[in-house]
Amino acid sequence: MRANCSSSSACTANSSEGELPVGPEVHGNLELVFTVVSAVMMGLLMFSLGCSVEFRKLWAHIRRPWGIAVGLLCQFGLMPLTAYLLAISFSLKPVQAIAVLIMGCCPGGTISNIFTFWVEGDMDLSITMTTCSTVAALGMMPLCLYLYTSSWNLEQNLTIPYQNIGITLVCLTIPVAFGIYVNYRWPKQSKIILKIGAIVGGVLLLVVAVAGVVLAKGSWNSDITLLTISFIFPLIGHVTGFLLALLTHQSWQRCRTISLETGAQNIQMCVTMLQLSFTTKQLVQMLSFPLAYGLFQLLDGFLIVSAYKMYKRRLKNEHRKKDTDYAEGCHKKKSTSLKETGAFLEVNEEVAITPGPSVPMDFHTAFESTSHVSSCT
Protein backbone atom coordinates (compact mmCIF):
# COMPACT_ATOMS: atom_id res chain seq x y z
CA MET A 1 0.00 0.00 0.00
CA ARG A 2 1.46 3.33 -1.06
CA ALA A 3 0.29 6.79 -0.27
CA ASN A 4 1.47 10.29 -1.27
CA CYS A 5 2.13 12.59 1.65
CA SER A 6 3.84 15.27 -0.36
CA SER A 7 0.64 16.33 -2.11
CA SER A 8 -1.36 16.90 1.04
CA SER A 9 -1.52 19.99 3.19
CA ALA A 10 -1.26 17.72 6.19
CA CYS A 11 2.05 16.32 5.01
CA THR A 12 4.64 19.03 4.49
CA ALA A 13 8.31 18.21 3.97
CA ASN A 14 10.60 18.21 6.98
CA SER A 15 14.21 19.25 6.33
CA SER A 16 15.43 18.41 9.86
CA GLU A 17 14.43 14.73 9.57
CA GLY A 18 18.03 13.60 9.08
CA GLU A 19 19.22 15.31 12.26
CA LEU A 20 17.08 13.22 14.62
CA PRO A 21 18.60 11.01 17.32
CA VAL A 22 19.45 7.41 16.61
CA GLY A 23 16.28 5.69 17.86
CA PRO A 24 14.16 4.55 20.79
CA GLU A 25 15.89 2.96 23.71
CA VAL A 26 15.05 -0.72 24.12
CA HIS A 27 15.72 -2.66 27.30
CA GLY A 28 15.92 -6.16 25.82
CA ASN A 29 15.19 -8.78 28.41
CA LEU A 30 13.27 -6.38 30.65
CA GLU A 31 10.96 -5.49 27.77
CA LEU A 32 10.42 -9.18 26.97
CA VAL A 33 9.58 -9.99 30.59
CA PHE A 34 7.19 -7.05 30.76
CA THR A 35 5.45 -8.15 27.54
CA VAL A 36 5.01 -11.75 28.70
CA VAL A 37 3.81 -10.80 32.20
CA SER A 38 1.36 -8.19 30.90
CA ALA A 39 -0.01 -10.69 28.34
CA VAL A 40 -0.58 -13.33 31.04
CA MET A 41 -2.21 -10.82 33.39
CA MET A 42 -4.40 -9.51 30.57
CA GLY A 43 -5.50 -13.08 29.81
CA LEU A 44 -6.44 -13.64 33.46
CA LEU A 45 -8.23 -10.30 33.50
CA MET A 46 -10.29 -11.17 30.42
CA PHE A 47 -11.13 -14.52 32.05
CA SER A 48 -12.50 -12.70 35.12
CA LEU A 49 -14.47 -10.25 32.94
CA GLY A 50 -15.82 -13.20 30.98
CA CYS A 51 -17.38 -14.39 34.24
CA SER A 52 -19.84 -11.47 33.93
CA VAL A 53 -21.05 -12.58 30.50
CA GLU A 54 -24.19 -14.67 30.08
CA PHE A 55 -24.36 -16.81 26.96
CA ARG A 56 -28.08 -16.06 26.52
CA LYS A 57 -27.47 -12.29 26.38
CA LEU A 58 -24.38 -12.75 24.21
CA TRP A 59 -26.39 -14.78 21.70
CA ALA A 60 -29.11 -12.11 21.75
CA HIS A 61 -26.55 -9.47 20.69
CA ILE A 62 -25.37 -11.73 17.86
CA ARG A 63 -28.90 -12.46 16.65
CA ARG A 64 -29.90 -8.78 16.72
CA PRO A 65 -26.59 -6.96 16.25
CA TRP A 66 -27.87 -3.37 16.32
CA GLY A 67 -25.50 -2.37 19.12
CA ILE A 68 -22.60 -4.14 17.41
CA ALA A 69 -23.38 -2.38 14.11
CA VAL A 70 -23.39 1.04 15.79
CA GLY A 71 -20.10 0.21 17.52
CA LEU A 72 -18.44 -0.88 14.26
CA LEU A 73 -19.68 2.27 12.55
CA CYS A 74 -18.04 4.33 15.30
CA GLN A 75 -14.86 2.25 15.22
CA PHE A 76 -14.18 2.18 11.48
CA GLY A 77 -16.26 5.16 10.39
CA LEU A 78 -15.92 7.95 12.94
CA MET A 79 -12.44 7.22 14.30
CA PRO A 80 -10.53 7.06 10.94
CA LEU A 81 -12.38 10.16 9.73
CA THR A 82 -11.55 12.00 12.95
CA ALA A 83 -7.89 11.00 12.64
CA TYR A 84 -7.75 12.23 9.04
CA LEU A 85 -9.35 15.57 9.90
CA LEU A 86 -7.02 16.07 12.87
CA ALA A 87 -3.96 15.32 10.73
CA ILE A 88 -5.05 17.89 8.14
CA SER A 89 -6.17 20.52 10.66
CA PHE A 90 -2.86 20.48 12.56
CA SER A 91 -0.72 20.25 9.36
CA LEU A 92 1.29 17.34 10.70
CA LYS A 93 4.54 16.02 9.26
CA PRO A 94 4.17 13.02 6.93
CA VAL A 95 5.15 10.31 9.39
CA GLN A 96 3.19 11.92 12.21
CA ALA A 97 0.05 12.15 10.09
CA ILE A 98 0.34 8.44 9.25
CA ALA A 99 0.79 7.58 12.94
CA VAL A 100 -2.42 9.42 13.84
CA LEU A 101 -4.31 7.76 10.98
CA ILE A 102 -3.09 4.27 11.92
CA MET A 103 -4.27 4.84 15.48
CA GLY A 104 -7.70 5.85 14.19
CA CYS A 105 -7.94 2.69 12.04
CA CYS A 106 -7.03 0.28 14.85
CA PRO A 107 -9.76 -1.83 16.51
CA GLY A 108 -10.95 -1.34 20.06
CA GLY A 109 -8.70 -2.33 22.95
CA THR A 110 -9.44 -4.58 25.91
CA ILE A 111 -9.07 -1.60 28.24
CA SER A 112 -12.60 -0.61 27.25
CA ASN A 113 -13.94 -3.84 28.78
CA ILE A 114 -12.48 -2.90 32.17
CA PHE A 115 -13.93 0.61 32.13
CA THR A 116 -17.29 -0.72 30.90
CA PHE A 117 -17.46 -3.01 33.92
CA TRP A 118 -16.68 -0.12 36.29
CA VAL A 119 -19.46 2.07 34.83
CA GLU A 120 -21.98 -0.81 34.93
CA GLY A 121 -22.22 -0.96 31.15
CA ASP A 122 -23.35 -3.84 28.96
CA MET A 123 -20.46 -6.31 29.37
CA ASP A 124 -21.95 -8.73 26.83
CA LEU A 125 -22.02 -5.96 24.21
CA SER A 126 -18.58 -4.66 25.21
CA ILE A 127 -16.77 -7.98 24.79
CA THR A 128 -18.73 -8.75 21.61
CA MET A 129 -17.80 -5.37 20.14
CA THR A 130 -14.11 -5.79 21.00
CA THR A 131 -14.04 -9.22 19.38
CA CYS A 132 -15.99 -8.16 16.29
CA SER A 133 -13.89 -5.03 15.76
CA THR A 134 -10.69 -7.09 16.01
CA VAL A 135 -12.01 -9.56 13.42
CA ALA A 136 -13.21 -6.72 11.19
CA ALA A 137 -9.77 -5.08 11.43
CA LEU A 138 -8.39 -7.84 9.17
CA GLY A 139 -10.18 -6.15 6.28
CA MET A 140 -11.16 -2.71 7.53
CA MET A 141 -7.67 -1.55 8.56
CA PRO A 142 -6.12 -1.90 5.07
CA LEU A 143 -9.31 -0.53 3.46
CA CYS A 144 -9.45 2.58 5.65
CA LEU A 145 -5.73 3.23 5.29
CA TYR A 146 -5.97 2.89 1.51
CA LEU A 147 -8.94 5.26 1.28
CA TYR A 148 -7.52 7.99 3.50
CA THR A 149 -3.91 7.84 2.21
CA SER A 150 -4.76 7.56 -1.49
CA SER A 151 -3.72 11.20 -2.02
CA TRP A 152 -0.50 10.91 0.01
CA ASN A 153 2.89 9.52 -0.98
CA LEU A 154 4.84 7.35 1.45
CA GLU A 155 8.26 5.91 0.80
CA GLN A 156 7.43 2.79 2.84
CA ASN A 157 4.69 0.26 2.38
CA LEU A 158 2.33 0.05 5.34
CA THR A 159 2.46 -3.45 6.83
CA ILE A 160 -0.75 -4.66 8.48
CA PRO A 161 0.16 -6.69 11.62
CA TYR A 162 -2.03 -9.71 10.82
CA GLN A 163 -0.07 -11.87 13.26
CA ASN A 164 -0.66 -9.37 16.05
CA ILE A 165 -4.38 -9.27 15.20
CA GLY A 166 -4.52 -13.07 15.38
CA ILE A 167 -2.73 -13.17 18.73
CA THR A 168 -5.10 -10.50 20.08
CA LEU A 169 -8.10 -12.58 19.02
CA VAL A 170 -6.72 -15.70 20.71
CA CYS A 171 -5.86 -13.83 23.92
CA LEU A 172 -9.35 -12.30 23.92
CA THR A 173 -11.68 -15.14 22.93
CA ILE A 174 -10.19 -18.11 24.81
CA PRO A 175 -10.10 -16.53 28.32
CA VAL A 176 -13.55 -15.00 27.80
CA ALA A 177 -14.94 -18.38 26.67
CA PHE A 178 -13.60 -20.02 29.84
CA GLY A 179 -15.12 -17.19 31.90
CA ILE A 180 -18.54 -17.67 30.28
CA TYR A 181 -18.37 -21.40 31.04
CA VAL A 182 -17.45 -20.75 34.69
CA ASN A 183 -20.33 -18.27 35.00
CA TYR A 184 -22.70 -20.90 33.57
CA ARG A 185 -21.54 -23.74 35.83
CA TRP A 186 -20.63 -21.90 39.04
CA PRO A 187 -22.45 -18.52 39.14
CA LYS A 188 -21.66 -17.81 42.82
CA GLN A 189 -17.92 -18.43 42.39
CA SER A 190 -17.89 -16.35 39.20
CA LYS A 191 -19.02 -13.26 41.14
CA ILE A 192 -16.04 -13.62 43.48
CA ILE A 193 -13.68 -14.02 40.51
CA LEU A 194 -15.22 -10.93 38.91
CA LYS A 195 -14.62 -8.76 41.99
CA ILE A 196 -11.00 -9.89 42.22
CA GLY A 197 -10.54 -9.28 38.49
CA ALA A 198 -11.84 -5.71 38.78
CA ILE A 199 -9.21 -4.91 41.42
CA VAL A 200 -6.46 -6.66 39.45
CA GLY A 201 -7.54 -4.74 36.35
CA GLY A 202 -7.06 -1.38 38.04
CA VAL A 203 -3.60 -2.36 39.29
CA LEU A 204 -2.69 -3.74 35.86
CA LEU A 205 -3.65 -0.52 34.10
CA LEU A 206 -1.42 1.53 36.40
CA VAL A 207 1.49 -0.92 36.05
CA VAL A 208 1.24 -1.01 32.26
CA ALA A 209 1.05 2.79 32.07
CA VAL A 210 4.12 3.34 34.26
CA ALA A 211 6.17 0.50 32.75
CA GLY A 212 5.28 1.57 29.21
CA VAL A 213 6.56 5.09 29.85
CA VAL A 214 9.77 3.81 31.46
CA LEU A 215 10.56 1.23 28.77
CA ALA A 216 9.95 3.66 25.91
CA LYS A 217 11.37 6.81 27.48
CA GLY A 218 13.75 7.18 24.53
CA SER A 219 10.78 7.51 22.19
CA TRP A 220 9.35 10.64 23.80
CA ASN A 221 9.82 14.05 22.25
CA SER A 222 8.46 17.46 23.12
CA ASP A 223 6.12 17.89 20.15
CA ILE A 224 3.22 19.85 21.64
CA THR A 225 1.07 19.30 18.56
CA LEU A 226 1.15 15.50 18.88
CA LEU A 227 0.48 15.71 22.61
CA THR A 228 -2.50 17.96 21.95
CA ILE A 229 -3.94 15.55 19.37
CA SER A 230 -3.34 12.56 21.65
CA PHE A 231 -5.31 14.40 24.36
CA ILE A 232 -8.35 15.44 22.31
CA PHE A 233 -8.56 12.37 20.02
CA PRO A 234 -9.88 9.88 22.63
CA LEU A 235 -12.22 12.54 24.02
CA ILE A 236 -13.72 13.07 20.56
CA GLY A 237 -14.11 9.31 20.23
CA HIS A 238 -15.97 9.01 23.55
CA VAL A 239 -18.29 11.95 22.82
CA THR A 240 -19.13 11.05 19.20
CA GLY A 241 -19.64 7.39 20.11
CA PHE A 242 -22.07 8.34 22.86
CA LEU A 243 -23.97 10.76 20.62
CA LEU A 244 -24.28 8.28 17.75
CA ALA A 245 -25.52 5.59 20.14
CA LEU A 246 -28.02 8.10 21.54
CA LEU A 247 -29.24 9.07 18.06
CA THR A 248 -29.82 5.41 17.20
CA HIS A 249 -32.02 5.04 20.30
CA GLN A 250 -29.73 2.72 22.24
CA SER A 251 -30.28 2.30 25.97
CA TRP A 252 -28.25 4.39 28.42
CA GLN A 253 -26.28 1.30 29.38
CA ARG A 254 -25.40 0.64 25.75
CA CYS A 255 -24.58 4.32 25.17
CA ARG A 256 -21.96 4.19 27.92
CA THR A 257 -20.57 0.96 26.49
CA ILE A 258 -20.32 2.20 22.89
CA SER A 259 -18.76 5.47 24.06
CA LEU A 260 -15.96 3.68 25.89
CA GLU A 261 -15.44 1.20 23.06
CA THR A 262 -15.09 4.00 20.52
CA GLY A 263 -12.50 6.09 22.34
CA ALA A 264 -10.35 3.17 23.57
CA GLN A 265 -8.02 1.92 20.82
CA ASN A 266 -5.63 -1.04 20.64
CA ILE A 267 -2.33 0.72 21.38
CA GLN A 268 -0.16 -2.39 21.01
CA MET A 269 -1.46 -3.04 17.51
CA CYS A 270 -0.68 0.54 16.46
CA VAL A 271 2.86 0.34 17.86
CA THR A 272 3.47 -3.02 16.16
CA MET A 273 2.34 -1.69 12.79
CA LEU A 274 4.58 1.38 13.11
CA GLN A 275 7.58 -0.79 13.99
CA LEU A 276 6.94 -3.07 11.01
CA SER A 277 6.47 -0.23 8.51
CA PHE A 278 8.99 2.51 9.35
CA THR A 279 12.66 3.05 10.01
CA THR A 280 14.21 3.76 13.38
CA LYS A 281 14.69 7.46 12.64
CA GLN A 282 11.05 7.83 11.65
CA LEU A 283 9.88 5.93 14.74
CA VAL A 284 11.42 8.62 16.94
CA GLN A 285 8.85 11.06 15.59
CA MET A 286 5.96 8.59 15.65
CA LEU A 287 6.07 6.42 18.77
CA SER A 288 5.38 9.28 21.14
CA PHE A 289 1.85 9.58 19.76
CA PRO A 290 0.51 6.06 20.56
CA LEU A 291 2.22 6.19 23.96
CA ALA A 292 0.64 9.55 24.78
CA TYR A 293 -2.71 8.38 23.40
CA GLY A 294 -2.56 5.33 25.67
CA LEU A 295 -1.88 7.46 28.74
CA PHE A 296 -4.61 9.97 27.92
CA GLN A 297 -7.19 7.27 27.19
CA LEU A 298 -6.37 5.81 30.62
CA LEU A 299 -6.83 9.25 32.18
CA ASP A 300 -10.09 9.81 30.28
CA GLY A 301 -11.35 6.40 31.34
CA PHE A 302 -10.65 7.05 35.01
CA LEU A 303 -12.34 10.46 34.75
CA ILE A 304 -15.43 8.90 33.15
CA VAL A 305 -15.58 6.22 35.84
CA SER A 306 -15.16 8.83 38.59
CA ALA A 307 -17.89 11.03 37.11
CA TYR A 308 -20.24 8.06 36.86
CA LYS A 309 -19.56 6.99 40.46
CA MET A 310 -20.21 10.54 41.67
CA TYR A 311 -23.45 10.62 39.68
CA LYS A 312 -24.57 7.30 41.17
CA ARG A 313 -23.67 8.47 44.68
CA ARG A 314 -25.67 11.67 44.15
CA LEU A 315 -28.71 9.69 43.00
CA LYS A 316 -28.34 7.38 45.99
CA ASN A 317 -28.18 10.31 48.41
CA GLU A 318 -31.24 11.94 46.82
CA HIS A 319 -33.13 8.64 47.02
CA ARG A 320 -32.09 8.23 50.64
CA LYS A 321 -33.23 11.79 51.42
CA LYS A 322 -36.61 11.13 49.82
CA ASP A 323 -36.98 7.94 51.86
CA THR A 324 -36.12 9.87 55.04
CA ASP A 325 -38.62 12.65 54.26
CA TYR A 326 -41.25 10.05 53.43
CA ALA A 327 -40.60 8.19 56.69
CA GLU A 328 -40.83 11.43 58.70
CA GLY A 329 -44.08 12.36 56.95
CA CYS A 330 -45.48 8.92 57.66
CA HIS A 331 -44.47 9.20 61.32
CA LYS A 332 -46.26 12.54 61.70
CA LYS A 333 -49.30 11.24 59.84
CA LYS A 334 -49.31 8.11 61.97
CA SER A 335 -49.19 10.04 65.25
CA THR A 336 -51.95 12.42 64.07
CA SER A 337 -54.11 9.48 62.99
CA LEU A 338 -53.63 7.74 66.32
CA LYS A 339 -54.70 10.89 68.19
CA GLU A 340 -57.80 11.22 66.04
CA THR A 341 -58.66 7.55 66.55
CA GLY A 342 -58.19 7.86 70.31
CA ALA A 343 -60.43 10.92 70.48
CA PHE A 344 -63.05 9.12 68.42
CA LEU A 345 -63.04 6.12 70.77
CA GLU A 346 -63.34 8.37 73.83
CA VAL A 347 -66.35 10.14 72.35
CA ASN A 348 -68.03 6.85 71.53
CA GLU A 349 -67.38 5.51 75.02
CA GLU A 350 -69.09 8.62 76.48
CA VAL A 351 -72.01 8.17 74.11
CA ALA A 352 -72.32 4.50 75.08
CA ILE A 353 -72.34 5.32 78.83
CA THR A 354 -74.63 8.39 78.64
CA PRO A 355 -78.34 7.37 78.54
CA GLY A 356 -80.32 8.79 75.70
CA PRO A 357 -81.14 8.21 72.06
CA SER A 358 -78.57 6.20 70.18
CA VAL A 359 -76.25 8.14 67.87
CA PRO A 360 -74.85 6.37 64.80
CA MET A 361 -71.12 5.89 65.07
CA ASP A 362 -68.94 7.40 62.31
CA PHE A 363 -66.85 4.36 61.55
CA HIS A 364 -65.90 5.81 58.15
CA THR A 365 -63.78 8.53 59.81
CA ALA A 366 -62.02 5.99 61.97
CA PHE A 367 -61.35 3.80 58.95
CA GLU A 368 -59.80 6.72 57.04
CA SER A 369 -57.54 7.52 59.99
CA THR A 370 -56.28 3.97 60.28
CA SER A 371 -55.87 3.65 56.53
CA HIS A 372 -53.34 6.53 56.58
CA VAL A 373 -51.33 4.61 59.14
CA SER A 374 -51.37 1.37 57.18
CA SER A 375 -50.29 3.13 53.95
CA CYS A 376 -47.03 4.31 55.58
CA THR A 377 -46.04 0.91 56.96
pLDDT of residue 45: 79
Q: Which domains does the chain have, with CATH numbers?
A: 35-305 (1.20.1530.20)
Distance of CA 27 to the CA centre of its chain: 31
- Is residue 260 pLDDT above 70, yes or no? yes
Q: What pLDDT band is residue 150 in, cutting at 50, 70 and 90?
A: confident
Amino acid at 124: D
pLDDT of residue 253: 92
pLDDT of residue 285: 77
Q: How confident is the model over 123-148, as pLDDT tens digits? A: 889 989 988 998 999 999 999 998 89
User: What percent of the chain has a predicted confidence (pLDDT) above 70?
Assistant: 71
pLDDT of residue 279: 81
The maximal CA–CA distance of the chain, rounded, in angstroms, is 119
Helix, strand, coil shares of the chain as percentages rounded to 5? 80, 0, 20
- Is residue 114 pLDDT above 60, yes or no? yes
Q: What is the mean pLDDT of the chain?
A: 77
pLDDT of residue 102: 93
Compute the radius of gyration of the chain from its Cα atoms: 30
How far is the C-alpha of 232 from the C-alpha of 29, rounded, in Å? 34
Q: How confident is the model over 17-32, as pLDDT tens digits? A: 333 334 444 445 555 6
Mean pLDDT throughout 40-48?
79
pLDDT of residue 235: 94
- Is residue 298 pLDDT above 70, yes or no? yes
pLDDT of residue 24: 43
Q: Poorest-confidence range of 17-26, 175-184, 283-292?
A: 17-26
Give how far Cα 363 sits from Cα of 165, 370, 372, Å.
79, 11, 15
Amino acid at 201: G
